[in-house]
Amino acid sequence: MRASALGPVCALLLLLLEPLHCGDEVTSSTVNPCCYFPCQHGGVCVRYAEDKYECDCTRTGYYGQNCTIPEFWTRVRGLLKPSPGVVHYILTHFRWLWDIINCSFLREVLMRLVLTVRSNLIPYPPTYNSKYGYLSWESYYNLSYYTRILPPVPEDCPTLLGVKGQAGLPDPELLVEKLLKRRTFRPDPQGSNLMFAFFAQHFTHQFFKTFNHMGVGFTKALAHGVDAGHIYGDNLERQLKLRMHKDGKLKYQLINGEMHLPTVEQAPVRMSYPPGVPPQNQVAIGQEVFGLLPGLGLYATLWLREHNRVCDVLKAEHPTWDDDQLFQTTRLIIIGETIRIVIEEYVQHLSGYLLQLKFDPTLLFNSQFQYGNRIALEFSQLYHWHPLMPDSFLIDGDELSYAQFLFNASVVSHYGVEKLVEAFSKQTAGQIGGGHNINSVVTNVAVRAIKESRQLRVQPFNEYRKRFNLEPYTSFQQFTDNEEIAAALEEFYGDIDTLEFYPALMLEKTRPAAIFGESMVEMGAPFSLKGLLGNPICSPEYWKPSTFGGKVGFDIVNSATLKKLVCQNTRTCPYISFRKQDARLPEFFSSPSHSLLNKPVSEDTNMDIL
């Protein structure tokens, strides 16, 4: 132990007994032994005496003082298990093989494997939170906290990251300025476009709603998952103000004969706008911050139209149903549609997998899978994908600056849904990983994310690598092949074991021609899939036609696509995609499951009821 690791006791001793040398034993005995993160493979560190700890290795598959010795079957499994890199390589290469697998029972077998392997990494019931680094009823029961996959670094550790990083951590502003701020726009090599970027932001902000008024580490989204609270509000009072109370529908206004979001005058809910914006210029949406970006307003408009369209379909099926039953059942359909689009198009695109992903809850009915979900702080940190944002927004021949785009509710009604969908589908988004790609308008969000993670004592990146079955990095050169970034990190952090979670995810070397690196996928996918399949509608009790108003409603859920979401709710069917057309794998959207949607949508959609 180094002398600079002096605990308060030792410091006091030094003061009182100046001539006495403050020896190693004294110093080490004051450090909480769990600060060394001694327990491996998910073992739980429990402190007994000042300098005594035990690792609880129960059901980790390992034993020994630090849960490092594998049991026999663990050893066998370890020998057979391919590394994440190999699995990813197979899933993204050998097109001929996947063409065969997609059309056979193997598609289901592999999809089940993807779902179980990924979700098994996420504990449910949830474990820790930002206050409790040990299991507690409060942590389980108080939904206002985000949960934590790894407990926070104990308060009494010598440093913010345990015992390493004695020299202190780099200044967040400097870190972002030097390594994350954009120099010139670098497009995503996977071809993600703004339609994808705004979907990401819109979808995730139903469950990432940090509640800073309560303190750091709290959330306002108490449903902890895909509840469509970004459409309906995160509480009943707000929902009731957004509803028409007739036929299950949501309030809307007609502009040029088309359905648009109501204003705050029409649906009096609180929205976050800069001071001085009058209520008639504010749009009313379930998620209070969605007035910020027309891209979010666009998706809010699409889901508003879809909700009201589905209400009509259900009412035709069930003329006796009252407003509330139509509303509630439509909401479940909207949740189902969302999950399908997210898995089969959004995650499909993001993963780059050639395995055709499938949303089918019955795949899990014979495995032990816990329904339920709790959003983790690490998931929220990881999803700060601000590099996606371009330098300006190109719409129908105009170039809008951030100043013109942000908080400008008129953009959606001015251009209309069709033109915006087309524009966002054609404009490429930025690459998330690899550094140097956050537009300066939003660099401050990254700074705040880093500050938040320190306040909440998030463990070092390498501890998360181990938690998600990845080898910890041994050097900055291994971590990134960008020599400038490696050198800067070396200077900022000194020791790879002190590299922080969020900066690491943004700076890790990207996979070849990919949007980000290995860790973002290996850590993000488990949270994502657990959240999607852990939804109550995916459980055996719910997943049946009657839940969704019968066959007609169930069919809507089972055939939902992004394209239908747009084209059943617009007069003309614009070009729509999550991926820029000339990017890698252009044939993706003409795969069989999508091609049937290329037919023009008939006139008898909801638009003619307007």
Ligand X SMILES: *[C@@H]1O[C@H](CO)[C@@H](O)[C@H](O)[C@H]1NC(C)=O
State the residues that interact with ligand X by CB under 6 A: 36, 38, 64-66, 68, 98-99, 102-103, 142, 144, 348, 354, 356, 404, 408, 410-411, 414, 587-588, 591-592
For residue 445, which of 45, 235, 173 has the smallest C-alpha distance?
Answer: 173
Q: How far is the CB of 201 from ligand HEM (least distance, A)?
A: 4
As a whole number of angstroms, the longest Cα–Cα distance in the chain is: 92
3-state secondary structure of 54: strand
17 interface partner picked from ligand X, ligand HEM, none, CB below 5 to 8 A per type: none
Q: Which tokens in the block code for residue 565?
A: 């979401």
Site for ligand HEM (CB under 6 A): which residue of 180, 285, 357, 388?
388
388 interface partner picked from ligand X, ligand HEM, none, CB below 5 to 8 A per type: ligand HEM
144 interface partner picked from ligand HEM, ligand X, none, CB below 5 to 8 A per type: ligand X
383 binds ligand HEM, rule: CB under 6 A: yes
Task: Output 80 or 236, the one with its CB closest to ligand X.
Answer: 236
Torsion sign over Cα 311, 313, 319, 325: negative
Site for ligand HEM (CB under 6 A): which residue of 216, 400, 442, 597?
442
Q: How far is the CB of 304 from ligand HEM (least distance, A)?
A: 21
Q: In one letter, which amino acid is 245?
A: H
How many whole angstroms separate alpha carbon 56 and alpha carbon 44?
5
148 binds ligand HEM, rule: CB under 6 A: no
How many whole angstroms separate alpha carbon 305 and alpha carbon 183?
39
CA distances, 126 to each of 118, 290, 536 (Å) = 16, 29, 16
540: how many CB neighbours lie within 10 A of its CB?
11
Q: Which of residues 542-601 bind ligand HEM (CB under 6 A)?
A: none
In this structure, what are the phi and psi dihedrals at residue 430, rounded to the nearest 5 degrees? -80, 155
The beta-strand segments (E) located in 542-595 are none
Torsion sign over Cα 297, 299, 304, 308: positive
Q: Which residues pair with 260 in a beta bridge?
A: 253
The beta-strand segments (E) located in 531-572 are none
Q: Which residue has the tokens 């300098």?
A: 51
Task: Output 212 or 280, the one with its CB closest to ligand HEM.
Answer: 212
| Dihedral angle of Cα 495, 472, 517, 504, to the nearest 10 degrees | -30
Task: Output 548 or 588, the one with its CB closest to ligand X.
Answer: 588
385 binds ligand HEM, rule: CB under 6 A: yes
Q: Which residue among 41, 202, 205, 307 is the active-site one?
A: 205
How many whole angstroms separate alpha carbon 56 and alpha carbon 64?
10
Task: Output 315 or 457, the one with its CB closest to ligand HEM.
Answer: 457
19 interface partner picked from ligand HEM, ligand X, none, CB below 5 to 8 A per type: none
Cβ atoms of 538 and 546 closer than 8 Å: no
Task: Output 448 or 467, the one with its CB closest to ligand HEM.
Answer: 448
205 catalytic per annotation? yes
Q: In one letter, which amino acid is 65?
A: Q
Q: Which residue among 273, 383, 415, 473 is the active-site one?
A: 383
Task: Output 57 or 231, the one with its CB closest to ligand X.
Answer: 57
Task: Output 243 or 358, the one with its CB closest to ligand X.
Answer: 358
Q: How far is the CB of 500 from ligand X (least distance, A)?
A: 21
Q: Which residue has the tokens 């879809």?
A: 306
204 binds ligand HEM, rule: CB under 6 A: yes
Site for ligand HEM (CB under 6 A): which residue of 31, 39, 110, 200?
200
314 binds ligand HEM, rule: CB under 6 A: no
How many whole angstroms separate alpha carbon 438 and alpha carbon 388?
8
Task: Output 131 or 186, the one with its CB closest to ligand X.
Answer: 131
201 binds ligand HEM, rule: CB under 6 A: yes
Q: Which of residues 286-305 bind ligand HEM (CB under 6 A)?
A: 293
Task: Output 197 or 532, the one with its CB closest to ligand HEM.
Answer: 197
Residue 118 marked in a binding site: yes
Length of the chain: 610
102 interface partner picked from ligand X, ligand HEM, none, CB below 5 to 8 A per type: ligand X
Provide the mask over 341-380, with x wherever binding to ligand HEM is found by CB under 6 A and - wherever it is not: ---------------------------------------x
For residue 491, which of 153, 182, 174 has the smallest C-alpha distance?
Answer: 174
Site for ligand HEM (CB under 6 A): which residue of 76, 97, 445, 513?
445
196 binds ligand HEM, rule: CB under 6 A: no
Q: Which tokens in the block code for residue 543?
A: 């997943």
532 interface partner picked from ligand X, ligand HEM, none, CB below 5 to 8 A per type: none
383 catalytic per annotation? yes
Stretch that binds ligand HEM, among 58-66, 197-205, 250-258, 598-606 (CB under 6 A): 197-205
DSSP 8-state assignment for residue 429: P
520 binds ligand HEM, rule: CB under 6 A: no
Residue 386 marked in a binding site: yes
Cβ-Cβ contacts under 8 Å for 162 (sequence gap 6 or more): 35, 36, 37, 153, 459, 460
Cβ-Cβ contacts under 8 Å for 93 (sequence gap 6 or more): 354
Q: How far is the CB of 487 from ligand X (least distance, A)?
A: 29
> What are the counts of helices (DSSP H) followed by strands (DSSP E) for the chain?
26, 10
389 interface partner picked from ligand X, ligand HEM, none, CB below 5 to 8 A per type: ligand HEM
3-state secondary structure of 349: helix
3-state secondary structure of 351: helix
Residues annotated as part of the active site: 205, 383
Annotated binding site: 118, 386
Q: What is the contact surface with ligand HEM in residues (CB under 6 A)?
A: 197, 200-201, 204, 208-210, 293, 380, 383-386, 388-389, 442, 445, 448
Q: Which residues belong to the annotated binding site for heme b?
A: 386
